[in-house]
Amino acid sequence: MRNSFNLDGKVVLITGAASGIGAKCVEVMAQCGAKVMATDIDEQQGLKTVAEFKTQGLDVVFCQHDASSSDDWDKAIAATLAQFNRLDILVNNAGIYIGGTLLENNLEQLRLLNKINIESIFLGMKAAATVMKPGGNGGSIINLSSVAGLIGVSGHSAYGATKGAARLYSKHAAVEFAQLGYGIRVNSVHPGVIDTEMGGQVFQDLVDIGLASSFGEAKNIVIGMTPLGRLGKSEDIASMIAFLSSDAASFITGGEFVVDGGLTAA
């Protein structure tokens, strides 16, 4: 079944696309009619994921890609242009989670979070904008942040700092690209706790720092804090990203879009 947002003729590059939210973005956006370059550092899982989508008749290609590497960005952009001859949408989804209290975290963990969660966004926006700006096609860039980039959460300070940076980086880029006439919109998406492998790491972290006695209790605590009474699903995030990528969002830039079941509103 086709998703409701029309992305016919659009070319999308999605990082961190081998699994979780990234893989669901590939599926949903391809179902919307987009041609998708799916990238990930995990080549084996990435090829497996793309092969599954191809059996559905979706127009998806895989490129192995370390999103924190400038050289790999050059490779991924070149592969996209060689395959599809243009780039309209970038989804900067690649990221990692490291929990722990501020006193437990070390500088190496903070540097790794910054490398994967922020440097990849800088490199991605720079590479994509070079192709999309005047003389190119214009386009849309969506950067994945988190509710941890909006509010304080115990055990998430280092991770949250990088996600807060992703939020503001998106706003600065949105204003700059608009005022310079690039025709590129930039927005950030802020998921709550999503029912993925990374979401499970959040629950375990609550146990490890002593805020829950078990994984199950941690999960129930988060669900209890969420007005809609459930965890988020990957498709909840992918649907928001598909909307922001579409022409239906043509007057939206510099925005922060929270998809958390009301967690941050309560």
pLDDT band, residue 136 (cuts 50/70/90): low
What rounded mean pLDDT belongs to the chain? 95
Residue 4 has pLDDT above 70, yes or no: no
Contacts of 227 (CB under 8 A, 6+ apart): 261, 262, 263, 265, 266
Percent of the chain with pLDDT over 90: 94
Q: Whole-prediction pTM value?
A: 0.95
Q: How many helices and strands in the chain, by DSSP H and E?
A: 9, 7
Residue 139 has pLDDT above 60, yes or no: yes
pLDDT band, residue 201 (cuts 50/70/90): very high
Is-contact 127 172, C-beta < 8 A? no
Per the annotation, the verdict on 159 as an active-site residue is: yes
221-230 pLDDT, tens digit each: 999 999 999 9
Among the options 97, 159, 169, 182, which is catalytic? Answer: 159
pLDDT at 174: 98
**Would you tell me which CATH number, out of the four given (3.40.50.720, 3.40.640.10, 3.40.50.1980, 2.60.40.350), belongs to the domain 11-259?**
3.40.50.720
Q: Where are the domains of the chain?
A: 11-259
